[in-house]
Amino acid sequence: MAIEGEFLGGGHEVGRLGILLKCRDQRMLFDYGMTATDPPQYPAPAPPIDFMFLTHSHLDHCGMIPWLTARYDIDITSTGVSREVGVLLMEDSVKIGAAEGYPEPYTSEDIKIAKRRFSDIMFGDTVDAGDTQVVAHPGGHIPGATMYELVDRKTTLVTGDIHTLETRLVQGAKPVKCDNLIMESTYSGRNHPSRLKTEYSLLKKIEEVTNRGGTCIIPSFAVGRTQELMLLLKDSRYEFWLDGMGRKVNKIYLRYPEYVKSAKRLRQAFRKTREVRSVHARSRALKGDIILTTSGMLDGGPVVSYIEAIRDDPKSAILLTGYQVEGCNGRKLLETGTMDFRGVTERVQCEVLKFDFSAHAGHDELLAFAKGCDPEKIVLMHGDQREILAGDLRADGFEVLLPRNGEKFNL
């Protein structure tokens, strides 16, 4: 078997992923997402395809699915939880797009079409894609995240985003023996501090802030990060509130308990969380200890009004918990001490700190994962510093390809 591949986006960058693989005259697309920057960035237009697989529902992996299903008569293979979260994100991105005035790649009608094209699978299931069989494996990262293994005379594993360590929310991904490995490399060259240490320092900081009479605003991504933090806070003595899209994601996760590490603990965490159900409740939340809210990068969402309320209070703190992409409001705040409030740049006087709760495997974990898969060829993708990891893999005897977007590669 020969596979011809090409990245429509997300090859040499983090974001807007689209992996096109041609296998026995069948064209398969793995993920089709957008980068929610200002303005948004899209992958190259996909040619007609036969099969589409979704690894997980972060916008950079699922955001452009309605564009596809509006044009081509195809089904999307995905876990049920990724389907539901994905639809939520697509609907949200259309709303945001309309509010910001950018030309929209698709309409709400297109999302309705996309919704009907999903076909649910579970981990361990095999799907026929022409003469090739595709097997779904757990990818760690967030609930429902899937790695796909193409089985022909040779096997090829497409990882999507992976995390190999267990977190409070999900189990880690395990290596799958394969001949070709197409692996994410977001954290090439960088390792994370241990999760336990990060959790400890976040809890210490919360204690310090609440002891001095301040409020902690914890901006966090709605999908995955919010629920992991709720699981951390549920055993603490703090009063914590949740506002924003994370509430909707919670409800979806409850319907798919098989994709979280402990549905029981997650339910306990939900019960301990106070939800902000109206704009009026925001002032009550501000009297509590902690507010978990979106957006995680401070680009819009309820977080902006919470920060407005505490920004001149040196006793309070903004505790960032996610990656802050170049050009986002959170990065601006970290680098300049100012941020954008509805178009006006203002100084923020309260404390600002960042904690590394990444859902991606770090450099050493990616290296160990690749060795565990023991492939002949490795394609690194979804990273802007791929050379560092490629160097270490080559030193271990692997053949490594680093195709840029639009460049064809053969497996």
Task: Choose between 195 and 282: whose C-beta lies nearer to Zn ion.
Answer: 195
Which residues inside 127-146 make contact with Zn ion, applying CB under 5 A?
A: none
Task: Choose between 23 and 142: whose C-beta lies nearer to Zn ion.
Answer: 142
Task: Choose between 82 and 155: whose C-beta lies nearer to Zn ion.
Answer: 82
Minimum CB distance to Zn ion, residue 224 (Å)? 8
Minimum CB distance to Zn ion, residue 140 (Å)? 10
Among 195, 192, 173, residue whose Cα is nearest residue 184: 173
Minimum CB distance to Zn ion, residue 130 (Å)? 27
Omega prior to 358 cis, within 30 of 0: no
Cα Rg, the chain, nearest whole Å: 21
DSSP state letter for 233: H
Minimum CB distance to Zn ion, residue 123 (Å)? 17
Task: Choose between 58 and 225: whose C-beta lies nearer to Zn ion.
Answer: 58
Task: Choose between 212 and 404: whose C-beta lies nearer to Zn ion.
Answer: 404
**64/35 Cα distance (integer angstroms):** 10
Task: Choose between 60 and 289: whose C-beta lies nearer to Zn ion.
Answer: 60
**121/118 Cα distance (integer angstroms):** 10
Task: Tell me the two tokens of residue 38.
Answer: 């200002």
Tally of residues, the chain? 411
Minimum CB distance to Zn ion, residue 173 (Å)? 12
By CB under 5 A, is residue 13 in contact with Zn ion? no
**270/365 Cα distance (integer angstroms):** 31
Task: Choose between 61 and 115: whose C-beta lies nearer to Zn ion.
Answer: 61
Minimum CB distance to Zn ion, residue 296 (Å)? 12
Which residues inside 157-186 make contact with Zn ion, applying CB under 5 A?
A: 161
> Please, which residues have CB within 8 angstroms of residue 237's CB and are 6 or more apart in sequence?
none
Task: Choose between 311 and 386: whose C-beta lies nearer to Zn ion.
Answer: 386
Stretch that binds Zn ion, among 82-90, 154-162, 318-326, 340-348 (CB under 5 A): 154-162
Minimum CB distance to Zn ion, residue 207 (Å)? 31
Stretch that binds Zn ion, among 58-66, 90-98, 195-203, 261-269 (CB under 5 A): 58-66
By CB under 5 A, is residue 31 in contact with Zn ion? no
Neighbours of 267 (CB within 10 A): 16
Minimum CB distance to Zn ion, residue 80 (Å)? 17
Minimum CB distance to Zn ion, residue 385 (Å)? 15
Neighbours of 200 (CB within 10 A): 11
User: Letter for the amino acid at 290?
Assistant: I
Stretch that binds Zn ion, among 51-59, 75-83, 168-176, 373-381 (CB under 5 A): 51-59
Among 156, 166, 163, residue whose Cα is nearest residue 139: 163
**177/371 Cα distance (integer angstroms):** 9
The burial of 326, by beta-carbon neighbours within 10 Å (0-12 exposed, 13-18 middle, 19 or more buried), is given as exposed
Stretch that binds Zn ion, among 69-77, 99-107, 156-164, 311-319 (CB under 5 A): 156-164
Stretch that binds Zn ion, among 107-115, 155-163, 214-222, 237-245 (CB under 5 A): 155-163
Size of the site for Zn ion (CB under 5 A): 3
Check residue 204 and give left, alpha or beta (phi > 0: left; psi -120 to 50: alpha). Answer: alpha
**71/62 Cα distance (integer angstroms):** 16
Omega prior to 39 cis, within 30 of 0: yes
By CB under 5 A, is residue 60 in contact with Zn ion? yes
Task: Choose between 85 and 150: whose C-beta lies nearer to Zn ion.
Answer: 85
Query: Pairing mode, if any, of strands 51-53 and 76-79?
Result: parallel
By CB under 5 A, is residue 58 in contact with Zn ion? yes
Residues within the interface to Zn ion (CB under 5 A): 58, 60, 161
